[in-house]
Chains A and B, each alone.
Chain A
Amino acid sequence: MARKPKAEGAASRLWKASPLTFVTLIAAAIVSFFPFYWMVVIASRTNDAIGSVPPPLTPGGNLFDNIGRVLDNENAAFVTGLTNSLIISTVVTVAVVFFSSLAGFAFAKLRFRGQNAMLLIILATMMVPVQLGLIPLYQMMVKFGWQNQLQAVIVPSLVSAWGVFMMRQYVSQTVPDELIEASRVDGASTWRIYWSIVMPALRPAAAVLGLFIFMQTWNDFLWPLTVLQDPANPTVQISLRSLNQAYYTDYSQVFAGTALATVPLAIVFILFGRQIISGIMEGAVKA
């Protein structure tokens, strides 16, 4: 592509962050990190730390001891919980991202009968509070014989109205109609257009969606609690909840478990996050 030297100078000046912005970002980073850090502090201390005034601000030496107690806690079945949650969250995330981008593309760039009505239905679904669906949904699972099975948690979550809507907005903003038309003229099939034009353009948004769906599925509690009745076959959130005593909370153990349950999330974030962090920007700023 041809470059205009003059423009480059003016643009790059504007693209630099001011010192004020920098300070704001540092403040935002501290605010974001503090509760996370504090979780590690409590996880590495004894249960007495939580009520101390002033609160302890440095990690103690009990982290591995507390993690050991989490793993040894028979009621919690923590390792099974982690494994189950990994399976559930992975399958759900892949499915939601795929189905959402496919449907989002169809709604944004294809034309078909009933399109607007369908989109409206999708929008409306998001607006209905899900909690009340629990009982009919549970009865359905009983009919299918899916109680205690992971698919009872997976299948209802395979699609997300929210994901379709997000992808639809993003595709309509990012992929120009002309590009699609041009491909059509060149004889590309709809699938090819989706696969080689839309998908690549969607990567940053797909990363955000995937990240978010993974977190959401990972943190889901009420539905798994209802349908996975066997305490030996929990999700990680149910395991975490079982670390609580009946009437009082052993915070050091709960936070050690929480920290442990956050490790997979951190890994997933780093994987997905690369798309967001190093995504288009690298090329764009240089251009």
Chain B
Amino acid sequence: MSVTTRRRFAAVALASVAVLAVTTACGDDGDEGSSGNEQIKLTVDIFGEQGFGYDELIKKYEADHPNIKIEQRGKGMGLGDYNTRLTQWMASGAGAGDIVALEEGTIVQFKAQKQNFVNLGDYGAASLESNFLPWKWNDGKAGDQILGLGTDVGSMAICYRKDLFEKAGLPTDRAAVAQQWPTWDAFIETGKKFQAKSGKVKFVDAATNTYNSILMQTAGNGTGYTYYDKSDKFVLSSNPDVKTAWDLTVKAIEAKLSAGLQTFSDPWATGFKQDQFAIVTCPAWMTGVIKGNAGDAAAAKWDIAKAPGNGGNWGGSFLSVPKQSKHPKEAAELAKFLTTPEAQLEAFKALGNLPSSPKALEDPTLLASKNDYFSNAPTGEIFGAGAKDFKPVYLGPKNQAVRDAVENALRSIEQGQRTPAQAWEDALKAGEAASK
């Protein structure tokens, strides 16, 4: 970005000279770090409605390190837009912040280009392992490289409509509800009971949500991986855990338990208001989604119970330092600071992001926290337990693309376009294509 290049270019683009004169006045030169100087500016890229709850932590860090200025970017940006930007920054080798947040689905993809990220192990992160849940620590690693440090986790529970359960003659108390479904088989049986009396209301919103929850749990207890084995060999057709989760889900579809909505679509959002389903598999962050979609009218109707089986996870993020950063050392220090158990607890207090640190998950304030929208369910306790019970599952580089293929196949059964056998063939074929 030298001055000469710019000048030469301006000379070439004769016609645009006037325009340049007008517009160079608007906007500044971004983050051209003046490396070597004592004053350092670090940029932290995050996403989500409110960001990651780092405002106070950053103030504190700046106070303790007077030579460092920190800028947060991306508050209010959705994950999809954020990932598009991030992908382009990483592909073109410029533009990314000194620290970038990687969501669990995103970090898997970026493990394939770990050479573009700093190994945080080079900056003393290796000793921090005990700060994190074991599976979270593992997910942040690409081979021996420590690619990302865990921030929050999603955990897993079941959000359900008490009023609809009552109408269908099921218990409504959260402990009693959880007792209905010690296993996923029992969950489906409960669904059948529900369906027998509920009429048009379906048990679950989408079969894909059920499928993903079952798969992650089954794989955690079984092979420890899903579509790729730990040497990144594509094993969709041979992994028994995938087939188990698939078959259970097909059973649920055939029992007509699913409303067949595509998650996060507009019809799905409408489904909350129209009482189209009684259950959503919910990680901690989903509580906000449900509240937003269902609105105040449904306030006291929702509650949260433990999920079938033992634990689960959906979502949560990591902090990484791209090689592009001009201040990898300072960035790594900041990333370490932002992911300490104490910092995670601060973020929880600020925004309710569930910590990935076992120590923070034991904290009394966290355990005592309740969610009033969900009939005062003890969310800290329920989600904390779900996260701790979860067993690590290895995800391969193109996990998301393969998962889309399998989910599409499941939805084609829901739509009545395919028989389960045909859909399984589709899944194998499309998954194979996606894995390349």
Contact size range, B: 35 or more
Best-surrounded residue of A91, A134, A147, A250 (most CB of chain B within 10 A): A147
Q: Given A73-B76, A231-B73, are A148 and B289 also a contact pair (CB < 8 Å)?
A: no
Asked if residues B6 and A144 are in contact (CB atoms below 8 Å), the reply is yes
Total A-B contacts with CB atoms under 8 angstroms apart: 143
A243 to B76, CA, bound (A): 7
A44 to B73, CA, bound (A): 31
Contact indicator B295/A155 (Cβ below 8 Å): no
Contact (Cβ within 8 A) A145 B6: yes
Q: Does B292 contact A245, Cβ atoms closer than 8 Å?
A: yes
Cβ–Cβ < 8 Å partners of A249 in chain B: 269
A112 within 8 A of B: no
Closest A residue, CB atoms, query B96: A229
Cβ A95 vs Cβ B88 within 8 A: no
B41 to chain A, nearest CB (A): 13
Q: Which residues on A sit within 8 Å (CB–CB) of B78?
A: 241, 244-247
Q: A48-B295, A248-B292 are in contact. Are A145 and B85 (CB under 8 A)?
A: no
**B5 with A148: CB separation less than 8 A:** no
Is the CB of A233 closer than 8 A to any CB of chain B?
yes
A47-B295, A91-B23, A248-B292 known; A147-B30 Cβ under 8 A: yes
Q: Which of B9-17, B59-67, B427-435 contacts A (4 or more CB under 8 A)?
A: B9-17
**A151 with B76, Cβ < 8 A, contacts A48-B273, A53-B274, A245-B49 known:** no
Q: Which residue of A lies closest to B288 (CB)?
A: A247
* Interface residue? A199 (CB, 8 A): no
Evaluate contact between A142 and B273: CB separation under 8 angstroms: no
A155 near B77 (CB under 8 angstroms)?
no
**A175: CB under 8 A from chain B?**
no
Cα–Cα distance between A91 and B18 once the two chains are bound (Å): 10
Residues of A within 8 A of B24 (CB): 149, 151
| Contact among B26, B76, B81 for A84, CB-based, below 8 A | B26
Q: Mark B237-274, 1 if CB is under 8 A from A, else 0.
A: 00000000000000000000000000010000110111
A122 interface hit (Cβ, 8 Å):
no
Q: Beta-carbon contacts of A231-242 to B below 8 Å, as 1s and 0s?
A: 101000000011
Q: Could you say which of A47, A48, A155, A246 has the most chain B C-beta atoms within 10 Å of its C-beta?
A: A246
Given A95-B19, A142-B94, A247-B264, A231-B75 contact (CB < 8 Å): yes
Does A52 sit within 8 A of B, measured CB to CB? yes
- Taken residue by residue from 137 to 178, chain A's Cβ proximity to chain B (1 for < 8 Å, 0 otherwise) reads as 011001111011111001100100000000000000000000
Q: Mark A243-261, 1 if CB is under 8 A from B, else 0.
A: 1111111100000000000
Which one of A74, A139, A144 contacts B5 once the chains associate, using CB atoms below 8 Å? Answer: A144
> Smallest CB-CB separation from B76: which chain A residue?
A75
Contact check, A142 vs B19: say whether CB atoms are below 8 A apart: no
Which residues of the partner chain B approach A47 to less than 8 Å between Cβ atoms?
292, 295
A87 at the interface (CB under 8 A from B): yes
How far, in angstroms, from A250 to B308 measured CA to CA in the complex? 32
Looking across the interface, which residue of chain A has its beta carbon closest to that of B273? A51
Residues from chain A with a CB closer than 8 A to the CB of B29 are 145, 148-149
Asked whether any CB of chain A lies closer than 8 Å to the CB of B33, the reply is no
Residues on the A chain within 8 Å of B92, using CB: 135, 138-139, 142
Q: Which of B1, B75, B85 contacts A142 (CB 8 A)?
A: B1
Query: Residues of A contacting B209 with CB < 8 Å?
Result: none
Using a CB-CB cutoff of 8 Å, which residues 140-160 of chain B contact chain A?
A: none
Question: Restricting to B1-47, which residues have a CB under 8 Å from any CB of A?
Answer: 1-2, 5-6, 9, 13, 15-16, 19-20, 22-24, 26-30, 32, 47
Contact with A along B49-83 (1 / 0, CB 8 A): 10000000000000000000000011111110100
Give the chain B neighbours of A231 by CB distance below 8 A.
73-77
Q: Assuming A51-B273, A247-B264, is B23 touching A75 (CB within 8 A)?
A: no
Q: Is A134's CB under 8 angstroms from B273's CB?
A: no
Whether A134 contacts B27 by the Cβ 8 Å rule is no
Q: Is A226 an interface residue (CB 8 A)?
A: yes
- The smallest C-beta distance from A249 to any residue of chain B, in angstroms, reads 7
Residues from chain B with a CB closer than 8 A to the CB of A134 are 88
* B180 contacts chain A at the CB level, 8 A cutoff: no
Q: For chain B, residues 186 to 203, give those with C-beta under 8 angstroms from any C-beta of chain A.
A: none
Kindly state whether residue A194 has any CB partner on chain B within 8 Å. Answer: no
Return chain B residues, CB-CB under 8 Å to A53: 274
CA gap between A177 and B26 in the complex, in Å: 45
Whose C-beta in chain B lies nearest to the C-beta of A76? B76
A52-B273, A91-B22, A155-B19 given; A148·B76 CB < 8 A: no
State the CA gap A158–B27 with chains docked (Å).
Answer: 19
B1 — which chain A residues lie within 8 A by C-beta?
Answer: 142-145
Identify which of A51, A52, A225, A250 contacts B272 (C-beta below 8 A): A51
Contact B91 A229 (CB under 8 A): no
Beta-carbon contact of B88 and A135 below 8 Å: yes
Given contacts A241-B77, A247-B288, contact A147 B95 (CB under 8 A): yes
Q: Is B421 an interface residue (CB 8 A)?
A: no
B169 within 8 A of A: no
| CB nearest to A48 among chain B residues | B295
Please name the residue on chain B nearest to A250 by beta carbon: B292
Q: B16–A225 contact, CB under 8 A?
A: no
Which residues of A lie under 8 Å from residue B26 when comparing CB positions? 84, 87, 149-150
Contacts of A50 in B (CB 8 A): 269-270
CB distance from A229 to the nearest CB of B (A): 6
Q: CA of A247 to CA of B283 in the docked complex: distance in angstroms?
A: 13
Q: How far is the CA of A229 from the CA of B293 in the complex (A)?
A: 29
Residue in contact with B95 in the complex, picked from A75, A138, A143, A155, CB distance below 8 Å: A138
B84 on the A face (CB < 8 A)? yes
A62 to chain B, nearest CB (A): 14
Q: Which residues of B contact A48 (CB under 8 A)?
A: 273, 295-297
Instruction: Report A-chain residues with C-beta under 8 Å of the C-beta of B9.
Output: 144
Within 8 A of A (CB), among B340-395: none
| In the complex, B182 has a CB within 8 A of chain A | no
| Contacts A135-B88, A246-B79 supplied; 13 other A-B pairs, CB < 8 Å | A75-B76, A99-B15, A135-B92, A145-B1, A148-B27, A149-B29, A151-B24, A225-B81, A226-B88, A230-B73, A231-B75, A242-B76, A244-B76
Would you list 9 pairs from A and B whose C-beta atoms are within 8 A, ordered by A residue?
A48-B273, A48-B297, A50-B269, A148-B28, A150-B26, A154-B19, A155-B16, A242-B76, A247-B286
Please report B residues at the A interface, Cβ cutoff 8 Å.
1-2, 5-6, 9, 13, 15-16, 19-20, 22-24, 26-30, 32, 47-49, 73-79, 81, 84-85, 88, 91-95, 264, 269-270, 272-274, 285-286, 288-289, 292-293, 295-297
The 6 closest A-B pairs by CB, nearest first: A75-B76, A145-B1, A51-B273, A248-B292, A149-B27, A242-B76
